[in-house]
Amino acid sequence: MHTTVDALLPLSFLEAVRSVDSPDDDLDAELVPELRNKRLGLSDTVYAQIQRFTDAAKKHQRTEYEETVGIAKLLGRRPDAEAVFRAAGRYLAAQTYQSIPSASRGLIASLPSLLARPIALRQTQRIAGKYLNGSVRRHGSFLILEVPRSATVDVSPRGVGCAYYESFFRELLRLLGASGGSVDHVRCAARGEGTCEWRAEWRSIHRDETADNAGAA
């Protein structure tokens, strides 16, 4: 099946590699020429790829699924793969959060939870569809993110790549003001369960119940 993904996905992998491999302090910075040879994230190849996918993301061009999986595999082979995938997930969340119109972001931040939640849910669903080829649905007091064709599920042993979507989901909910609960990987294609699903508690946005009641009164 011919599939494409949003250019933000490969971009998030590469940005995470660059960020994790960047020197932490001045002492490290002095060693950069030597580090360059050792650290993928500081290489000219990664830099050139970041430019390419940044341009593609700006133009809303999509990338081949297979190419994206190939980049994810480079991350999956690293001993720090899980940390890199988590960083990539946070990057993707931050970028896709910016795709929410500022008026909607303002409403989500300022309206009482009861009114803010449906707006936040619609935006979360839009983002999951557009950027992850996935979907988000409510299930009682939980939100379920489903990704039928994960770009990271087979790139590392023991499902380490799945941390990418988990980290994305947690961070997006945090940015929407609905964070705090755990995010559980309740279904996994790597375990032969068909698709990957993550379940997050759908908490109040910004206000506790008392504030909600006051807002409704």
- Quick one: 136 or 153, whose CB is closer to Zn ion? 153
**Cα–Cα distance between 101 and 87 in angstroms, integer?**
24
CB of 9 to Zn ion, least distance (A): 15
The residue sitting closest to Zn ion, measured at its beta carbon, is 188
Compare residues 136 and 196 and give the one whose CB is closer to Zn ion.
Answer: 196
| Closer residue to Zn ion in complex, CB, 183/196 | 196
Asked if 188 is part of the footprint of Zn ion (rule: CB under 5 A), the reply reads yes
Binding-site size for Zn ion (CB under 5 A) equals 4
> Applying CB under 5 A, does 163 fall inside the site for Zn ion?
no
Shortest distance, CB of residue 189 to Zn ion, whole angstroms?
A: 6
69 sits near Zn ion (criterion: CB under 5 A): no
Q: Smallest distance, Å, CB 105 to Zn ion? A: 30
**Phi, psi values for residue 135, rounded to 5°:** -150, 160
The single residue among 196, 202, 203, 205 that binds Zn ion, judged by CB under 5 A, is 196
Contact 90, 178 (CB under 8 A): no
> At 145, which helix (H) or strand (E)?
strand 142-147
Nearest residue (CB) to Zn ion, 66 versus 193: 193
With respect to Zn ion, which residue has the nearer C-beta, 50 or 196? 196
CA distance 141 to 99: 26
Q: For residues 32 and 86, give the distance between their C-alpha atoms in angstroms, rounded to a whole number.
A: 24
Say which residues have a Cβ less than 8 Å from residue 26's Cβ, sequence separation at least 6: none
Instruction: Give Cβ neighbours of residue 92 (< 8 Å, ≥ 6 apart).
Output: 8, 9, 12, 131, 164, 168
Check residue 100 for interaction with Zn ion (CB under 5 A): no
Task: Give the angle subtended at the CA of 91 by the CAs of 24 and 119, to the nearest 5°.
Answer: 145
Is 162 near Zn ion (CB under 5 A)?
yes
Minimum CB separation of residue 185 from Zn ion in Å reads 6
- d(CA 151, CA 131) in angstroms, rounded, equals 12
Q: What is the CA radius of gyration of the chain?
A: 18
**Closest CB to Zn ion among 42 and 190?**
190
CB of 148 to Zn ion, least distance (A): 11
Provide the minimum distance between the beta carbon of 196 and Zn ion in the complex, in angstroms, as a whole number: 4
Residues forming contacts to Zn ion in the complex (CB under 5 A) are 153, 162, 188, 196
